[in-house]
Amino acid sequence: MHSALRCWREDLPDTLVRWLAYLCGIAVLSIAAGNIFQHRPVAMASAPIEQVDWVTIEKPFPAFALAIPEAEDAQAGYTIRRARNGGGRKDILTLGDPNGVDPYLQVTIYRPGGEIGRFAMPAVTIAGDAAADAMGPVNIRQEAQPLASKFGPLAIVTFDTSRGASRGCLAFVRAYDDPRLQLSGWFCRSGELIARSTLTCALDRLTLLSAGSEPKVGGLFAQAELHRSFCGQRDPILASTPKYRQLWKALEMRPRPRRVGR
C-alpha cells in the first residue's frame, strides 16, 4: 500500500505537487483563523471625524467686508477664529440676530492650514457649522441645482432651525483648490425660505479688504468682481450698488414711526 502511494506521488509532476501543498496550506490557515476569530466582533471601518480646536481672536482685524445698506440697522459682527493646531483661519461675518425673527446672514471664509486634510462635503460642512452656531439644524437637504454667483457655482443646502425662532435657511458652500479656501454660510428668515436671487445679491456685496500675505486670495476676489452682477444690474456705471428691496425684506417692512406735525 505504502509503495503504491509512493509510486503514485513520484508519477505526479513537480508543479502539481507544489500547487497541492499550497492549497492545503491555505485550507489549514483558514480553519485556524476561523477558530480564533469566531467569537470576536468584526470592527466596521469608518472615516475618521476631524476635530479642530478653534480659538477666537479677541481683537480681529477684518480682511473682508459685507456692505448691505438696506440692513444698516441690523446688528453686524466680525469674528476671527484660529485653529490651535494647524494654523487655519476662519473669518465669520454676520448680519442680524441669530436667534431672532428678522433675517440673519452669515458668511464664513475658511483658509485651512494643517488641521484638515480636505474639505468636507457641503451638507456635512453646513450641518457642523450650524450646530456649532447653536442653531440646531434639522431637515438638512442638499439641492441638486447649484446657484450661480460671482464666486462661481455654489452648492446649495437648505435646513430649518430648531433653536430660537423657527426659520428656514438657504445655505451655500464653495471650495477652491488654489488658493485653498472655502466659502460657506447661510441666509435665514422666519416664515419663508430666502429666495436664491436674494442670496446671490447678498454675496455680490462680499468684498476683500486685505489679502495680507496671500496674493492668490486677492486674485480670487479680483476675478470674482469681474463676474459681479450688481444684484441683477450688470452696468457698474449706471448702478454701482443698487438697493435690492428683497434683500432685507423683513427690516424694510417694519412699521416706521410717524412724524409729529408741527
pLDDT score of 2: 47
Burial of residue 146 (number of CB atoms within 10 Å: 0-12, 13-18, 19+)? middle
- Check: CB of residue 217 under 8 Å from CB of residue 258: no
Check whether 84 has a pLDDT greater than 70: yes
How are strands ordered across the β-sheet holding 168-176? Answer: 54-56, 76-83, 89-95, 104-111, 181-189, 168-176, 155-161, 137-142
Mean per-residue pLDDT, 254-262: 41
Q: In this predicted model, what pLDDT tens digit does every residue of 154-180 receive, in sequence order? A: 999 999 999 888 899 999 999 999 999
- DSSP annotation of 46 reads -
Instruction: Write down the pTM of the prediction.
Output: 0.73
- Helix segments in 54-195, DSSP class H: 122-132
Q: In this predicted model, what pLDDT tens digit does every residue of 91-122 receive, in sequence order? A: 999 999 888 888 999 999 999 999 999 999 99
**Grid cell in block for residue 95:** 448680519
CA distance 220 to 254: 37
Check whether 196 has a pLDDT greater than 80: yes
CA distance 217 to 109: 11
Three-state SS annotation for 160-202? EECCCCCCEEEEEEEEECCCCEEEEEEEEECCCCCCHHHHHHH
71 in helix, strand or coil?
A: helix
Q: In this predicted model, what pLDDT tens digit does every residue of 128-145 receive, in sequence order? A: 999 988 899 999 999 999
Angle CA 251–145–118, to nearest 5? 95
pLDDT score of 212: 82
Q: In this predicted model, what pLDDT tens digit does every residue of 213-248 receive, in sequence order? A: 899 999 999 999 999 988 876 655 444 444 555 566
Q: In this predicted model, what pLDDT tens digit does every residue of 18-53 receive, in sequence order? A: 544 544 454 444 444 444 333 333 232 333 345 788
Check whether 64 has a pLDDT greater than 60: yes
CA distance 150 to 79: 24
Check whether 260 has a pLDDT greater than 60: no
Strands 89-95 and 76-83: antiparallel
Q: In this predicted model, what pLDDT tens digit does every residue of 199-213 receive, in sequence order? A: 999 999 999 999 888
pLDDT score of 165: 83
pLDDT score of 207: 96
pLDDT score of 122: 97
pLDDT score of 60: 86
- Check: CB of residue 161 under 8 Å from CB of residue 72: no
**Grid cell in block for residue 109:** 471664509
CA distance 76 to 46: 40
- Check: CB of residue 171 under 8 Å from CB of residue 181: no
pLDDT score of 150: 96
pLDDT score of 261: 44
pLDDT score of 183: 98
